[in-house]
Structure 1
Amino acid sequence: MRETGLIVHDDGKARCPWCGTLPEYMAYHDDEWGVPERDSRALFEKLILDGFQAGLAWITILRKRDGFRRRFEGFEPATLARWGEAEIAGALADPGIVRHRGKIEATIGNARGYLDIEAREGDFSRFLWSFVKDRPIVNTWTSISQAPTSSPEAEAMSKALRQFGFRFVGPTIVYAFMQAVGMVDDHLAGCHAKRG
Structure 2
Amino acid sequence: MPQHEDRVLYEFLILESMQAGLSWRTILQKRENYPQGYQGVDPLRISQFGYQEIEEMLQNQDIIPHRGKLEASLKATKIFLEIQKEHGSFATYLWNFADGKTIHNHRTSLSEIPVTTALSEQLRKDLKKRVIWEAFFAVRRKDFFYLFCIS
**Same fold flag (TM > 0.5):** yes
Q: Shift of the alpha carbon at 1:178?
A: 2.6
Which stretches in structure 2 are left out of the alignment for 5+ residues? none
Equivalent in 88, 92, 103 of residue 69 of structure 2: 103
Matched, 1:40 2:6: yes
Report deviation, 1:117: 0.8
The answer to whether structure 1 residue 174 and structure 2 residue 144 are counterparts is yes
Report deviation, 1:163: 2.3
**Separation of aligned partners in 2, 1:177 and 1:48:** 12
**Count of matched residue positions in the alignment of Structure 1 and Structure 2:** 147
Equivalent residue, structure 1, for 2:58: 92
Q: 2:26 aligns with which of 41, 55, 60?
A: 60
C-alpha distance 150-137 of structure 1, shift in aligned 2 (>3 A): same
Superposition CA RMSD, Å:
1.4
Q: What amino acid maps onto 2:99 in structure 1?
A: K
Query: 1:50·1:177 contact (CA, 8 Å) conserved in 2?
Result: no
1:115 partnered with 2:81: yes
Task: Give TM-score, length-normalised by structure 2.
Answer: 0.90
Q: Helix, strand or coil for the counterpart of 1:155? A: helix
Residue of 74, 77, 90 corresponding to 1:124? 90
Residues 13-33 of structure 1, C-alpha deviation per residue, up to 9 Å, x if partnerless? xxxxxxxxxxxxxxxxxxxxx
How far apart are residue 122 of structure 1 and its match?
Answer: 2.2
- Which residue number corresponds to residue 78 of structure 1? 44
State the alpha-carbon separation in 1 of the partners of residues 35 and 129 from structure 2: 26
SS at match of 2:22: coil
* Alpha-carbon contact 1:51-1:173 (below 8 Å) kept: no
Quote the residue 2:121 is aligned against.
155
Contact 1:78–1:115 (CA under 8 A) maintained in structure 2: yes
Quick check: which has more Rg, 1 or 2?
1
Higher share of residues assigned helix: 2
**Residues 1:112 and 1:106: Cα distance change in structure 2 (over 3 Å):** same
TM-score (norm 1): 0.70
* Structure 2 counterpart of 1:114, one-letter code: F
